[in-house]
A and B are shown apart, each in its own frame.
Chain A
Amino acid sequence: MRNLLGRSLRACATLLGLVAVAFVLLRLAPGDPAQLRFASADAVEAGAAAEALARFRAEHLLDRPLHVQFLHYLGPFDLGPEGHALFGGSGARPLGGLLAGDFGREYLRPDVEIASELLGRLSITVPLALVSALLAYALALPLGVWQGLRRGSAFDGWTRALALLAYSAPVFWVALLLQEGLGPTGLDWLPILGLRSRDAASGDVADLAAHAVLPIACLSYASIATISRQMRAATAEVASSDFVLAARARGVPERAVLWRHIVRNALVPAITMVGQVLPWLVGGSVLVETVFEIPGMGKYAFDSLQRREYDAVAACVLVSGVMTLAGLALSDFLQARLDPRVRDAGR
């Protein structure tokens, strides 16, 4: 219980730090949402843009010092013109900010609540990431075991070279390559736009699956490379350890040696990587969703960054942070389940 409490406090502190860093960096970046809001030719023609800019900035506190903006964003008190009366607001909207469970609204689409938008986007990104993670593990674990057991063979050499290539290939480049090669201007095997064909029914699973193939491939290939390398090293190490030798000497059947002694022990480091894989996938989703025009959280983060939607980007960073911490917690949990030494050390 105490351990859990300590971990929770550390997680909160980490998230706070993450939000603070993201908040400051975003606002220090050149460009601002007010300029973008009034960037159209008509707005420039208006001539009265200076007034409009000032009004927009005041409404969103963009003209206030950075620490005031941060406290407003953090909450729980709204420091805006309609915020808490204690801070000079009209009192119409006293509470707001992260601590009040409010991610805010977009600057350019004020009727859009960031939380609900994000939720809708996550319903696309999370399934894609999970399927990619499952696929990565499903392929990388047996591959790593196979490589580890046949160290130095031609198969090991080729697959290691391929893994290295995959590990080094940027995801957006691979995505473009696959679009070009397998899309309509190439072999025309797979769709490359979004997650649904123009006339597909909403429940058409086959259509959805066809659209998801390339994005999932792009999201998972680097993880496959990384996990298989890890699994290979662990398998090789465990396979040459004394207890495996002893098991064989005791006449334990080879199948049991493999599954009960080698694979089970070699799995520990690979499983703990889940804490890294999930954030990679979420990070990769920014590129993959942008290239394939998938309206998930990654594309939302990218578009929001382009539009200088500070609060929306910060929300995406926060969600990514939460997912990273959840991944780390999951990896700790799994490690404890698989390795009694870790479990006992925690007691």
Chain B
Amino acid sequence: MSKAHASPLRSAFLALAALAAPWTLACRPEPASGEPSPPPARPAASLDTTLPDRFRPGFDPRSDALLTPRRGGKIVVHVEALPRQLNYLLDNSGVTRRILQELHGTLVARDLFTGAHRPQLAESWVVEDTLVRRDGRRLYGELVEQGAAWRVVPRSSPGHALGAAVDVAKADVARIERGTVYTFRLRTGLHWHDGAPLRVEDFLLTWRLTRIPAVRCDEKRFEFDHLVHAEKLDERSLRFFYDRQYFGAEAVFEALIPLPAHVYDLRDPAHPAARPDASDEELARHVNEHPANRRWIGIGPYRLVEFGDEYVEAERVDNGWPAEDAGWFDALRWRLITDDALAYRALCAGEIDFTSRLLSDDYFRASSDPEFTARAYVGHFYTPRASYIGWNLRRPQLADARVRTALALATDWDGYVQGFYRGLAQRVTAEWFDGGLDYDSELAPLPFDLARARALLAEAGWYDRDGDGLVDRDGKPLSVELLTQAGSRSGEVFLQRLQETFAQAGVRLEIAAVAWPVLIERVREREFDGVFKVWVVPIESDPAQRWHSREVGTGTANETSFSSPEVDRLIDAYTSELDDARRGATSRELQRRLYAEQAYDYGVKVPHKFGASLRLRNVRVGPVDPGFRLREWYFAE
């Protein structure tokens, strides 16, 4: 057969095309055996995954020298959708995030490879603790234990309320909260793309907007719920206060992108239509409908020049951004191609320089495709995202953990990894980032074991009483419906196999492949037995939304309706723990509890399969979403 593609429909038509028009077969050489070409060689396990160009054919970054970087050229990168707008507060889609990574900046940014936060628009920051006295007064500073007292030492300056260290008797202390006050000092010399200087007010505006319900930022608002106060200290310094100790506090400042107050804030004197008495509703409408949401004014080293129906384009701007991080390309273009198979062809044609969305079939055939290898090469990387099957615990037949475990044992994840992904995907056992400290790597994935699955089902009262091949109880066969998104090739392959293995365990599996909007609606309304999805996990994943009993209900992220007092306790301990080692221990205990329950059957960490132009240099890919930064790359010529 000629080639495989995104969907069986597409494959079927191309198969018919090959039969109807033999000339299409003559267009491209195929392996003589008719078998798919072998996968490209995987890098040795010991090879540092941060090495640049490690997938480029013939280049060994350990011994070969990279070309001297030079400025110039326009890179065209594939995107699967265009953002609705570029105001991240209002549109926090993955595509927006990817584009703003080049066009904008935040107080702190995450290192692509280590995951650690580093200053970006902030020059530096100081973290202090809060001491809450029994009379309710709060003091902040570095808390140092001094026998029977706590010494509160002001670390941040200027504008610290204490001025000098203060001792408070432990008897007068109601509680202490670590890491709850953040004081930032901004870089100097940075300018918005319209030429106005970056100000403290720009950050305070964003924070203020998250507290106005009429601003359409419901996806982001929750992140700032516990950031209860913000203040300007001087022209370069600002301070934020948390109302609780929270392990993911620092990551919030990654999301707090500044908005130009002179453009968005009706109350800002620098705004051309400034009105100090503008109401919150007026301000919200002004922000929600502002033309700058699409004609974005950013602070990064590239400024937007076109936002059309086909692409978004930006060009280099000199706005004071540090030269070492200002990128090498003269222009960046994000080209919309909704069909990932078409992106492969576009890469072959030189219409794009990079895609991180190669289909598995295209990825594995690319190395034997001369049209492809003449222009590009393939590689892969992983960001924290995993496929899983989530079971609705409200369904009587799925309420028993033994049944769910049996279903997990009847799922051939390893076969899926070896078959569809040819070993490229990796098994995971929890939603935590498996490169992080919180992940329990000693927890082994459940094996594919039909005999054990059948035994567990029998133990739970499900066995074949009427000889029809299906296990039953109370006169009803064990039957489940699994929701999945229609048109997903990987989903179809996996679920067809799952149907077979479930049948071997005596379970009837019905597959409901539905459009994405329908899937969302049914999961939100809890009108499902099981759902097969891919979960994109933040580096600091807060498990409360998915597993805490207070989140049980319709429309929440606890889609399985999971509830366990012990798990609640562990989650509360986990999210308030700042010590990495102690939090790691709690996390591992939590994972073991969830693993035993099997409300989610975590499957595989899915690889991002990319294709890159041979002209590109210094292509590094890492584990932090989106896995790459265009600013590091450059063209060879």
A residues at B contact (CB < 8 Å): 30-32, 35-36, 38-53, 55, 108-111, 120-121, 170, 172-173, 176-177, 179-181, 183-188, 191-194, 196-199, 290-291, 293, 295, 303, 306, 308
Contacts and interface: CB of A to CB of B under 8 A. Distances in A.
Given A45-B557, A188-B371, A183 B518 contact: no
A308 B516 CA distance: 11
22 contacts: A31-B521, A35-B521, A39-B517, A41-B536, A42-B220, A45-B557, A47-B557, A55-B218, A108-B84, A110-B216, A110-B289, A177-B24, A180-B14, A181-B17, A185-B345, A187-B27, A191-B351, A192-B342, A192-B345, A193-B346, A293-B336, A306-B516
Given A35-B517, A179-B345, A197-B351, A173 B218 contact: no
B218 A47 contact: no
Given A35-B521, A173-B13, A193-B346, A47 B369 contact: no
A120 B309 CA distance: 10
B555 A53 contact: yes
Contacts of B17: 173, 176-177, 180-181
B371 A36 contact: no
B16 interface: yes
B294 interface: yes
B592 interface: no
Contacts of B213: 55
Contacts of A51: 218
Contacts of A110: 216, 288-289
A185 B369 contact: yes
B339 interface: yes
B521 A121 contact: no
B351 A198 contact: yes
Interface in B555-610: 555-557
B349 interface: yes
A30 B289 CA distance: 29
Contacts of A35: 517, 520-521, 524
Interface string B309-338: 110000000000000000000000101111
A183 B288 contact: no
B545 interface: yes
B476 to A, nearest CB: 27
Given A46-B221, A295-B309, 18 more contacts: A30-B521, A31-B517, A35-B521, A35-B524, A40-B219, A53-B555, A55-B213, A108-B84, A176-B13, A177-B13, A180-B3, A181-B24, A188-B371, A191-B349, A196-B310, A198-B333, A198-B335, A293-B337
Contacts of B93: 40
Query: Which 7 interchain pairs have the tightest Cβ spacing?
Result: A31-B517, A52-B218, A295-B309, A184-B349, A186-B27, A43-B219, A184-B348
A109 B342 contact: no
Contacts of B2: 180
A196 B17 CA distance: 27
A300 to B, nearest CB: 8
Contacts of B342: 179, 192-193, 291, 293
Interface string B1-32: 01100000010011011000101100110000
Interface in B53-96: 74, 76, 84-85, 92-93
Question: Which of A184, A187, A291 has the largest count of B CB atoms less than 10 A from its CB?
Answer: A184
Given A30-B521, A180-B24, A187-B27, A47 B545 contact: yes
Contacts of A50: 553-556
Contacts of A47: 222, 545, 551, 556-557
Q: Is the interface of B mostly helix, strand, loop or mixed?
A: mixed
Contacts of B350: 184, 198
B558 to A, nearest CB: 9
A173 B12 CA distance: 10
B572 to A, nearest CB: 15
B165 interface: no
B535 A41 contact: yes
B518 to A, nearest CB: 4
B415 interface: no
B14 A177 contact: yes
B515 A184 contact: no
Contacts of A43: 218-219
A227 B474 CA distance: 64
Contacts of A111: 85, 289-291, 293-294
Interface of B: 2-3, 10, 13-14, 16-17, 21, 23-24, 27-28, 74, 76, 84-85, 92-93, 213, 216, 218-223, 288-291, 293-294, 308-310, 333, 335-339, 342, 344-346, 348-352, 369, 371-372, 514-518, 520-521, 524, 535-536, 542, 545, 551, 553-557
Given A177-B17, A181-B23, A187-B27, A46 B218 contact: yes
A176 to B, nearest CB: 6
A198 B515 contact: no
Given A45-B557, A186-B28, A31 B518 contact: yes
A183 B535 CA distance: 35
B313 to A, nearest CB: 10
B521 A32 contact: yes
Given A38-B218, A177-B14, A291-B339, A184 B345 contact: yes
Contacts of A192: 342, 345-346, 349
Contact of A109 (B85, B221, B345): B85
B517 A38 contact: no
A67 to B, nearest CB: 23
Nearest to A300: B309
Contacts of A184: 345-346, 348-350, 371
A36 to B, nearest CB: 5
Contacts of A39: 516-517, 520
B219 A42 contact: yes
A108 B542 CA distance: 27
Nearest to B291: A111
B84 A109 contact: yes
A293 B343 CA distance: 10
A338 to B, nearest CB: 38
Contacts of A121: 309
Contacts of B309: 120-121, 295
A174 B219 CA distance: 42
B76 A198 contact: yes
Contacts of A38: 218-219
Contacts of A40: 92-93, 219
Question: Which of A48, A49, A198 has the largest count of B CB atoms less than 10 A from its CB?
Answer: A198
A46 B555 CA distance: 10
Contact of B310 (A55, A180, A295): A295
A60 B182 CA distance: 39
A199 B333 CA distance: 11
Contacts of B92: 40, 42
A11 B637 CA distance: 61
Contacts of A177: 13-14, 17, 21, 24
Contacts of A30: 514-515, 517-518, 521
B521 A193 contact: no
A63 B435 CA distance: 44
Contacts of B293: 111
Nearest to A195: B310
Contact of A45 (B13, B28, B308, B542): B542
A172 B289 CA distance: 37
Nearest to A52: B218
B222 A293 contact: no
A43 to B, nearest CB: 4
A49 B555 contact: yes
B208 to A, nearest CB: 18
Question: Which of B74, B337, B351 has the largest count of A CB atoms less than 10 A from its CB?
Answer: B351
A192 to B, nearest CB: 6
